[in-house]
Structure 1
Amino acid sequence: MTVSGREDTLTSGAQHSGALRTAQVPGDHPAPLDAISAQLSTEPLELVLLFVSPNADFQALARQTEGRFGGADVLACTTAGEIGRDGYEEDQIIAVAFPSALFATRTYAVEALDTLEEQQVIDTAIQHRTALTRRASELTWEFAFLMVDGLSLREEHLTTMLAAGLGPMSLFGGSSGDGTAFRQTWLSRNGVVMRNSALVALVRSRCPVHVFSLDHLMPTDTRMVVTAADPERRVVQEINAEPAAAEYARLLGKDPNQLDPFIFAAHPVVVRLGDTHHVRAIRQVNDAGELVFFSAINEGMVLTLAKHEDIAEHLERELSAMARPNGAAPQILG
């Protein structure tokens, strides 16, 4: 899944060490599902998530997943890189499985993201959450996990609707990717391949669960106002009533021709929502000198330049703060 400057993650397994089952194979493996099945436990599984390199044959892989793991639902998406055994990796297929003894789940697809009906999305979420609660009321920890088409440009719109239907159930997840090509992303549920869609997994667990979000960015005193934008395309045309890319470069003390993904990563912008700041990652400069963003943007939005804290030190500190009193290491789905 694609993450820009933030890590939206889940910790679990305090009472049951190693609650989640994982497997990893190269994206060009000749029989990836055979290899994944061999690595996973033989116990009954409730849900299997597959994060698939865009270089793998996603459609062939997806077609083979139906019924492959017993009665478990199988949700899959293409990625912009994987988080594997060796950290950030490329050209891998990562599987995360939820054993039936510890989890109860309910999954469904949300299709045609460009024509969503708000009340229908809300009602569907309520219905699925109610059904799962009735089935597994004895499992007191819960969360919702989302895979959504990263080229749909509808992620924020959808999550706002889902949050209204899910109530107190915490929601996290990410967008499907295709490396840095931004041409074609895929999702699948139980062998059905889809685009312009999202997959929702509602989960109840015997294990303590904590949904959290981390970033190592700190806002500075340099602010800018979006004075012209095309929110549907996530394009900012003007900042401070000046051409967007030129004004962003001026604030950095850079030549506009120097702007590239490395500059955007080194000089991110954030927006304040409530008491916290959220990253608004810049994807590229288009031919018109406008800034194209990865996430929602709108006219009147105040953006703040941010600086980096040491990412390794920040991550070590934040993960240490989540350590269990008995010393058991939580598992993280990120």
Structure 2
Amino acid sequence: MNDAKRPTQADPMPAPVGASPKMRGSAIATALKHADRITRTGFADAQDFGALDRLAEMLAPLDELELVILFVSPLADIDTLSANAARQLAPAQVVGCTTAGEIGSNGYTDGEIVAIGLPRSHFCARVLRIDDLDHYDGQQQIDQIIRNRNDMARETPDWTSEFAFLLVDGLSVKEDALTADLAPGLGPVPLFGGSAGDGTDFGATYVLCNGIARRNAAVLLQIRSNCPIKVFNTDHLVPSTQRMVVTGANPARRLVHEINAEPAAREYARLLGKDPEQLTSFTFAAHPLVVRIGGQHHVRAIQQVAENGDLVFFSAIDEGVVLTLAEPLDMIAHLDHALTGLSAQQTPDVILACDCLLRRMEAQQKQLTPQISALLAAHRTVGFCTYGEQVNSIHVNQTLTGVAIYPPSATDTGQRS
């Protein structure tokens, strides 16, 4: 891949972790910095031939890890990286996905591999791979989810925290159905997740699982821990009084042909007072649409305008749906409040986050990237920018969704051998 594929963003990129002695020293220093942490994190330049060596150093000792999760820039050679990671980061299970940007040690970044390692002394995990999102057996997946939950409960009977993390091909258009299909198997276990990205190219997105990078696939991570956890979902958008009705749509392809009985892109632009020929990703980030589901408003973000004037969404939209134009609150204040709230009782060991690409675009457009990055870094947040997020049984957009993982209490000695 060449540099033309890199998303055109103004975000400052930290110096990559390379193979020089100085950079090797930086990797070791970072590892030492996190020596008192339960989870382990690693960061490397996605195009560095020694990237996996750097990550192995930062996550070491590898034989103590139950699971390694990789968030990989699409600048990487995905197939080669996936195969080598399964070998070089063994014996841990290795899963991950491609991104629309990463959240690293200093907040927003591009062109990196972000890794998080979960030690088996505090985490028990099962990996459920779903290879073909067009033809999977929903009941079979539910049955396996239940078996996995029962197996982990027998293996770690004194542990009480559970959550599920879903990584899914962000161009599969199957996230809505998949998330809903898996929910019955999880029962009360909270689920969150992110749709794999491809920068701002929307060409190909991949899910990585134990040596193979796959398209049209998903991986569900079921995790049990003695660490307290909190799954969260937040956005800074409030519905306005401006409503519109979808009068023509193809939900399976996430296409909206008509709004208010008019061509979709043209009517959306008219309601914004804009030229339909000037609609961009920044327009969609600044003027999102929401739909009311179960008493709450959820964003239904627009991905792009099709050549014929249809609107392509990140989520399924059906005819008859009432969409409401949303207005943003102060992004910095809202994020600060949300992350500070997660630390109200205890500081998280790490916050694993899925942040919608459109939020990052909004931050860039409003020149808030440095402030957002500083907040993410200050609250120990790592993860990736997505083409959509999952929370429990719903696929959503333009949110920050994730899990805060806290150190166990001093009296909790229920560790695995």
Corresponding residue number in structure 2 for 1:29: 48
- Is the Cα–Cα contact under 8 Å of residues 255 and 317 in structure 2 kept in the other structure? yes
Corresponding residue number in structure 1 for 2:132: 112
Pairing of 1:82-231 with structure 2 (within 5 A): 82-231=102-251
The CA distance in 2 between the partners of 1:114 and 1:297, in whole Å, is 19
The CA distance in 2 between the partners of 1:20 and 1:280, in whole Å, is 33
Q: Which of these residues, 50, 58, 63, is aligned with residue 39 of structure 1? A: 58
Pairing of 1:1-80 with structure 2 (within 5 A): 18-42=37-61, 44-80=64-100
Write the deviation string for residues 64-98 of structure 1: whole angstroms up to 9, x where unpaired.
12243343110021111101112111100000110
The CA distance in 2 between the partners of 1:65 and 1:256, in whole Å, is 45
Write the deviation string for residues 38-65 of structure 1: whole angstroms up to 9, x where unpaired.
1113260000000010001111111112
Corresponding residue number in structure 1 for 2:414: none
SS, match of residue 242 in structure 2: strand
- Partner AA of 2:350 in structure 1: Q
Amino-acid identity (%): 50
Corresponding residue number in structure 1 for 2:21: none
The CA distance in 2 between the partners of 1:182 and 1:132, in whole Å, is 37
> Which structure dedicates a bigger proportion of its chain to helix?
2
- Partner AA of 2:53 in structure 1: D
The CA distance in 1 between the partners of 2:291 and 2:121, in whole Å, is 42
The CA distance in 2 between the partners of 1:283 and 1:31, in whole Å, is 35
SS, match of residue 28 in structure 1: coil
Q: Which of these residues, 294, 312, 315, is aligned with residue 332 of structure 2? A: 312
- Is the Cα–Cα contact under 8 Å of residues 45 and 69 in structure 1 kept in the other structure? no
- Is the Cα–Cα contact under 8 Å of residues 39 and 116 in structure 2 kept in the other structure? yes
Greater mean deviation of Cα atoms: 219-228 or 40-49: 40-49
Aligned length: 318
Corresponding residue number in structure 1 for 2:290: 270
The CA distance in 1 between the partners of 2:341 and 2:296, in whole Å, is 19
- Partner AA of 2:47 in structure 1: D
Q: Residue 330 of structure 1: CA displacement? A: 4.5
Q: Which of these residues, 313, 324, 327, is aligned with residue 293 of structure 1? A: 313
Does structure 1 residue 240 correspond to structure 2 residue 263? no
The structure, 1 or 2, with the larger RCO (C-alpha pairs under 8 Å, 6+ apart) is 1
Q: Residue 117 of structure 1: CA displacement? A: 2.4
| Root-mean-square deviation over aligned CA pairs | 1.5
Q: Residue 100 of structure 1: CA displacement? A: 0.8
SS, match of residue 202 in structure 2: coil
Corresponding residue number in structure 2 for 1:257: 277
User: Which stretches in structure 2 are left out of the alignment for 5+ residues?
Assistant: 1-34, 354-417
* TM-score computed with the length of structure 1 as normaliser: 0.92
- Is the Cα–Cα contact under 8 Å of residues 324 and 330 in structure 1 kept in the other structure? no
Write the deviation string for residues 180-207 of structure 1: whole angstroms up to 9, x where unpaired.
1111122221112221110111000111
Task: Assess, with a 3 A threshold, how the Cα gap between structure 1 residues 54 and 30 changes in structure 2: closer, same or farther.
Answer: same
The CA distance in 1 between the partners of 2:166 and 2:36, in whole Å, is 24
The CA distance in 2 between the partners of 1:104 and 1:122, in whole Å, is 19
SS, match of residue 290 in structure 2: strand
Q: Residue 217 of structure 1: CA displacement? A: 0.6
Corresponding residue number in structure 1 for 2:369: none
The CA distance in 2 between the partners of 1:218 and 1:179, in whole Å, is 27
Q: Residue 314 of structure 1: CA displacement? A: 0.3
- Partner AA of 1:254 in structure 2: K
- Partner AA of 1:39 in structure 2: M
Corresponding residue number in structure 2 for 1:4: none
Task: Assess, with a 3 A threshold, how the Cα gap between structure 1 residues 329 and 254 changes in structure 2: closer, same or farther.
Answer: same
Greater mean deviation of Cα atoms: 125-134 or 265-274: 125-134
- Is the Cα–Cα contact under 8 Å of residues 229 and 297 in structure 1 kept in the other structure? yes
Write the deviation string for residues 22-44 of structure 1: whole angstroms up to 9, x where unpaired.
00001111111110011113260
Q: Residue 329 of structure 1: CA displacement? A: 4.2
Q: Residue 101 of structure 1: CA displacement? A: 0.8
Task: Assess, with a 3 A threshold, how the Cα gap between structure 1 residues 269 and 126 changes in structure 2: closer, same or farther.
Answer: same
